[in-house]
Amino acid sequence: MAPSIAFQSQIYRPLPEMERADSIVDRISKAITLGMLRVGERLPTEADLSEKFGVAAATLRDALAELRDQGIVETRRGRNGGTFIVKQPTTSPDEMRVHLASVSIADIRDFGDEHVAVAAETVRLACERAEPHEVERLLELGRALVFTDTPEGRAQADSRFHIELAVTAQSPRLTSAEIRLQAESVQLLWAPLAHGFDSEQAAAEHLALVRAVSEDRPDDAQRLMRLHVRRAVHHLIDTKLALEYSAAMPSDDLDE
């Protein structure tokens, strides 16, 4: 199912004046990581991208050249040519461990407070504004978690559901905030760093949220969303503590 125009507009929105090629690289890379763009997908033409991002053609070409150098896209010539996504950017487990070590539990809780506020208001608006075809799309995305068995695939399925829910709420600001929050957390949430995150429970929670939206039950939807986000935040805290405990244990104790 092709992404909606509103969904695509979150990827190809104009850049602030100070942002240039590096920001385009970052925007497209994050969109791939979050499942908003997929491997095998063709990007819009250079002229379209320049217009959408609000940058000069030379700036856009510099960004595409950097993405090619990183092996993320390739440009093919000919009638069916264009620039295609060929690789998903990845963050190594070691980089994730370093990041978790660098943030405090208070930081993670603060992140959770923001995410609860954004996601709860998002789902309330979705209850008011979702069209039947959008609910069907959310159902499809909600089930996606059970059909993938890789951390990267689960992270993409999870983030795609939450971002699409924000699009359904018809609030570009909340959608932008949800994308930022997903980019901060979703890979850490699903990475096998300590204890695995329960994909079946997460999928069940997604589907419960969709039912609440389809039946226009905003109070239930907000309650479910708060529990859903807080469970993810608790998992991140538990992962941080488990990694710290493991690092503090003498190697002889770990071998026993």
**The pTM is what?**
0.84
| Domain range summary for the chain, segments of one domain joined by + | 5-85, 93-248
Contact 110, 144 (CB under 8 A): no
Distance CA 206, CA 138 (A): 9
Nearest to 201 by CA among 177, 168, 234: 234
Residue 252: what pLDDT?
Answer: 54
CATH topology of domain 93-248: Four Helix Bundle (Hemerythrin (Met), subunit A) (1.20.120)
Distance CA 250, CA 254 (A): 7
Distance CA 140, CA 138 (A): 5
- Which residue stretches of the chain have pLDDT < 70? 1-2, 15-19, 250-256
- Encoding tokens for residue 50? 């320049």
For 20-79, the pLDDT digits (tens) are 888 999 999 999 999 999 999 999 999 999 999 989 999 999 999 999 999 999 999 988
Residue 231: what pLDDT?
Answer: 97
Question: How many other CB atoms are found less than 10 A from the CB of residue 203?
Answer: 20
The secondary structure of the chain in percent helix, strand, coil, rounded to multiples of 5, reads 70, 5, 25
Contact 85, 11 (CB under 8 A): no
Architecture of domain 5-85: Orthogonal Bundle (1.10)
Listing DSSP states for 51-99 in one string gives HHHT--HHHHHHHHHHHHHTTSEEEE-STT-EEEE-------HHHHHHH
Distance CA 24, CA 29 (A): 8
Question: How many other CB atoms are found less than 10 A from the CB of residue 246?
Answer: 12
Residue 34: what pLDDT?
Answer: 93
Residue 17: what pLDDT?
Answer: 55
Residue 12: what pLDDT?
Answer: 78
Residue 19: what pLDDT?
Answer: 62
